[in-house]
A = this chain, B = another copy of it.
Amino acid sequence: MTAISTINDVFSLIDSELKEIESAYADYLKTNVSLIPKISEHIILSGGKRLRPALLILTMKMMGDQPYSGTAMAAVIEFIHTATLLHDDVVDQADMRRGLTAANMIWGNEASVLVGDFLFSTSFDLAVDQGNLKILKALASATKRLAEGEILELMKTADITTTEDDYLAVIEGKTAILMAIACEIGSLLADADHEKQSIMKTFGLNLGMAFQMVDDVLDYTSREEDLGKAIGIDLEEGKLTLPLIYTLKQASDEERKQLQEIILADFVNPEDFTYVYQLLTKYKGIQFTMNQARKHIETAKSLLTPLEPSLFKEALVFVADYVLDRNR
């Protein structure tokens, strides 16, 4: 391969590693309890972008040709991500996930909670087996901040006084941290020096911030077929994301009052959604959010500048741009 020009080139570049990770999932999830593979495979094998494993492997390979395997730790990160999806869907009472009926709708909240716990503890167990305390510490701090982010988001539900800073704290915890440690662990596996570890962690963090901002924009602008889940969900759940927070700050008192009513309502009918969308357009809430996302992507890419050129580096730059341009 000579250059990266599509997202498929990125995945092709680490195809053998990604295939190894995919085929390891079932092995790592071995258990005598039959409900566990049913639920975890429903959600894990139903796809997902595998962005986190890819970030880990790309970072590890960029740091030089290593004899190390990133398979176990990539699976750990994907399992933690999956566990939070299972628990999120209970919290959000979601109907759809990755274009399929959400697990909690099929097997009940109880099973989603407990299989999520199984995935968390399996991740922990698998990570301990790697025997690297630095990696374990990175993982433990990250999962703690992840839980804090999720709780902060819950506390801010339907709270129209939510500030941009609150929002940034929420998305850092619930999304960016896990991408940050995917990159950090990739560099730790490659025995990179402290400076490079720190660069890659910050790269992942900025990528993750942008990723969630784009996600929150897509919830307003995408089409259901593309997203694999309903749009307008954040509004219905009373989740105040940046497009809306920015709009609320500039809206007139009358508009803010109407927005508040819509945010507090259990259902959002199409006219309400259209009304909100018009205000987002009027006050450029989408545009502002995309600009913030773009800034994070620029920061992420500039962090890579001092690193030696390689196809892996090129791929990471491509992923950064892709996060901005994707439509799902």
Q: Is the CB of A143 within 8 A of B128?
A: no
Q: Is the CB of A118 within 8 A of B36?
A: no
Copies in the complex: 2
Assuming A124-B124, A125-B140, A140-B121, is B32 touching A148 (CB within 8 A)?
Answer: yes
A115 interface hit (Cβ, 8 Å): yes
Assuming A117-B120, A121-B143, A140-B121, is B155 touching A33 (CB within 8 A)?
Answer: yes
Assuming A125-B144, A128-B136, A143-B124, is B117 touching A150 (CB within 8 A)?
Answer: yes
Which of B32, B115, B137, B150 contacts A114, CB < 8 Å?
Answer: B150
Chain B residue with Cβ nearest A145: B121
Tell me, in angstroms, the Cα distance from A146 to B120 when the chains sit together: 12
Tell me, in angstroms, the Cα distance from A76 to B155 when the chains sit together: 26
Q: Which of A109-159 contact B (CB under 8 A)?
A: 109-111, 113-118, 120-122, 124-125, 127-129, 131, 133, 136-137, 139-141, 143-144, 146-148, 150-152, 154-155
Q: Mark A77-118, 1 if CB is under 8 A from B, else 0.
A: 000000010010011000000000000000001110111111
Q: Is the CB of A114 within 8 A of B143?
A: no
A8 interface hit (Cβ, 8 Å): no
Chain B residue with Cβ nearest A115: B151
Tell me, in angstroms, the Cα distance from A146 to B117 when the chains sit together: 9
A269 — which chain B residues lie within 8 A by C-beta? none
Q: Is the CB of B117 within 8 A of A155?
A: no
Q: Is the CB of B148 within 8 A of A31?
A: yes
Chain B residue with Cβ nearest A32: B148
> Most chain-B CB neighbours within 10 Å: which of A140, A141, A151, A155?
A151
A115 — which chain B residues lie within 8 A by C-beta? 151
Chain B residue with Cβ nearest A135: B128
A2 — which chain B residues lie within 8 A by C-beta? none
A35 interface hit (Cβ, 8 Å): yes
Tell me, in angstroms, the Cα distance from A8 to B133 when the chains sit together: 39
A34 interface hit (Cβ, 8 Å): yes
Chain B residue with Cβ nearest A154: B110
Q: Which of A18-58 contact B (CB under 8 A)?
A: 31-36
A90 — which chain B residues lie within 8 A by C-beta? 90, 109-110, 113
Q: Is the CB of A111 within 8 A of B33?
A: no
A147 — which chain B residues lie within 8 A by C-beta? 114, 117-118, 120-122
Chain B residue with Cβ nearest A132: B133
Can you list 14 A-B pairs with a CB-CB distance of less than 8 A?
A31-B148, A32-B148, A35-B154, A35-B155, A90-B110, A91-B110, A110-B154, A111-B151, A117-B120, A121-B143, A122-B147, A124-B124, A124-B144, A125-B143
4 additional contacts (CB under 8 A) given A118-B144, A121-B143, A125-B144: A122-B147, A124-B143, A124-B144, A127-B140
